[in-house]
Structure 1
Amino acid sequence: GNAGCNGGWMDNAFKYVEENGGIDLEQAYPYEARDDSCRYMDYYKGSTLAKFVDVKPRQSEDALKAAVASVGPVSVAIDAAHPSFQLYKSGIYFENACSPTVSDHAVLVVGYGVTSDNYPYWLVKNSWGTSWGMDGYIMMARGYDNMCAIATYASYPLV
């Protein structure tokens, strides 16, 4: 299973949705940022899941970029254990101490781009609310040896 607020794997969440026949609407089952039992109710089903896809090869930012371009947002697990991540406010996030293989936090890559100064970045939505980062988003360095393991565990649902 997953570990609630102590982390979990997107693939396990996708499997849960698949095995239970759907996922509730956010209005009926909002994110609570706390551990609790799952309480899916078919009445509030917002979507079903046909299957999910792991982005391959792992650790390939090119493969992640192709997935975001072709299917849209992609769930990823990153190394977010650093104070610099937790205290992020704006700009391109670059952390030398980030692991390219170890991750501890799930986020959503919603896009990518290049700044006016020519720095490539991933646009990432966090789950910590709009008071964190740039209204809940972070621009993470792209093309720097899989910074913070952003392309190591990437997957998306097919609905």
Structure 2
Amino acid sequence: MKGFQLLVAVVIALVPAGGVLDKQAIDEAFEKFIRKYNKKYTSTEERAKRRGFFAATLAQVFAANQERLDILGNGSDYVAGINSFADFSTAEFEAKMLCGYNPSISESSSPRNQSGISYTLGHTESIRLPETVDWVAAGAVGPPRDQGKCGCCYALQVATVAESHFQIRTGIHPMIPFSVQQLVDCSKSTGNKGCTSGSQRQAWTYVKSSGMVKESVYPFIAKDGKCKSSIVGSAANQCLAPGDIEAWFGVLPRSDDALMHKLAMYGPVPVSVHGSSARFRNYRFGVMTPQECGEGNLNHGITVVGYGKTPEGVEYWKVINSWGTSWGDKGIGYIQRNTKGYPR
């Protein structure tokens, strides 16, 4: 992979023969980072603090890429890189970029029914699934969104899935984006906490009773606001009216067959990952393994938008994140399939 070699060469070029990032290299990389992402710091102290966090991230990126080179050679798949939140501390990243707790529909990995949630086993013996599914290429998934410093991945997941399934079933082109901000502001009525934390289950409960409006009439502002009831209640604004969603179904946890079936037959599926993993946070491109995804608690939500296989035969899930286009391949990532049920 030529791109992999070039990116690693850029990172390694910052490192002297001793293998340690020196002050000059870090300073130069930090200046480039500031210019690229138009960073503004309020004081000398703030700038110094951010440089320290950036240096720690840069070291993680170098170590991850060097490890993959040492183990697998230049043909390695996973590549780490610097993105727009490389100057965040770990605590700040978790507070602003994650959902606060398990963002999945069910807070349990057990397949039992919970609060009206039905699980489907996904038996597909009599159904021949396609070798590849890509709802992005099919025009049923919008561009990756950026949640900014609002911990609302649950809202972005639900909006992404709802608008995608709406497009698939109606055939409307271009696709109509649904309002994320409506879920941030209004699903507090079902237990979510806006930009602090939330879960899909509570967001879907809200959508079932209240519907969803177009993003054009209720745009995303990446911060908490008061629910705009007059906009939400207007039939002219609603893509989904109250009651349009009768029920929702969870995919049996850790079942690749069930997830493939739902993707192929219905559309994108929201899943959970360990978003605190440094390698997931710093992902640039390639296929992530469970090592990159991490095995900690599930605290971030992404959406699976397809599956396939690389030319080398590596099976993957195609996912869309909510951290903007500086993460992954312009907001898109790939996670290895058939690896202990990742993602969950």
1:16 aligns with 2:16: no
Structure 2 vs 1, CA of residues 18 and 125 (structure 1 numbering), >3 Å: closer, same or farther? same
Cα distance in 2 between the residues matched to 1:118 and 1:66 = 20
CA positional deviation for 1:79: 1.4
Q: Name the residue aligned to 1:74.
A: 269
| Higher mean displacement: 122-131 or 35-44 | 35-44
Question: Which residue identity does 2:283 align to in structure 1?
Answer: Y
Distance (Å, rounded) in 1 between the aligned partners of 2:334 and 2:203:
25
Q: Per-residue deviation at 1:37?
A: 4.1
Q: 1:6 to 1:79 in 2, by over 3 A?
A: farther
1:2 counterpart (183, 192, 217):
192
Distance 1:110 1:69 in 2: 10
1:124 aligns with 2:315: no
Match of 2:215 in 1: 26
Structure 2 residue runs without a partner (length 5+): 1-190
Deviation at residue 142 of structure 1 after TM alignment: 1.2
Deviation at 1:61, TM superposition (A): 1.8
CA-to-aligned-CA distance 1:61-96 (integer Å, 9 cap, x gap) = 211111111101111122111111111111111242
- 1:46 and 2:239 matched: yes
Structure with the largest fraction of helix: 2
Is the CA contact 1:55–1:63 (under 8 Å) kept in the aligned structure 2?
A: no
CA distance in 2, matches of 1:145, 1:18: 32
Separation in 2 of the partners of 1:59 and 1:140?
Answer: 14
Mark the CA change 1:99 to 1:19 in structure 2 (over 3 Å): closer, same or farther.
same
Asked if the contact 2:302/2:322 (under 8 Å) is kept, the reply is yes
Supply the distance in 2 between the matched residues of 1:137 and 1:18 (Cα, whole angstroms).
28
Q: 1:75 is paired with a residue of what secondary structure?
A: strand
CA spacing shift, 1:3–1:83, aligned 2, 3 Å:
farther
Equivalent position of 1:105 in the other structure: 300
| Percent identity (aligned) | 32
Partner AA of 2:193 in structure 1: A
| RMSD of aligned alpha carbons | 2.0
- The answer to whether the 8 Å contact 1:93/1:139 transfers is yes
Instruction: Could you tell me which runs of 5 or more consecutive residues in structure 1 were left unpaired when the two chains were aligned.
Output: 152-159
- Give TM-score, length-normalised by structure 2: 0.40
Would the alpha carbon gap of residues 36 and 107 (structure 1) be closer, same or farther in structure 2, given more than 3 Å must change?
Answer: farther
Say which structure, 1 or 2, has more relative contact order (CA 8 Å, 6+ apart).
1
Is 1:57 aligned to residue 252 of structure 2?
yes
Structure 1 residue 19, shift from structure 2 partner: 1.5
Q: Which residue of 1 aligns with 2:17?
A: none
Whether the 8 Å contact between 1:2 and 1:9 is mirrored in structure 2 is: yes
1:14 match: secondary structure: helix
Give the C-alpha shift of residue 33 in structure 1. 3.3
Distance 2:227 2:300 in 1: 19
Quote the offset at 1:119 in angstroms: 0.8
Contact 1:78 1:103 in 2 (8 A): yes
1:28 Cα deviation after fit: 1.9
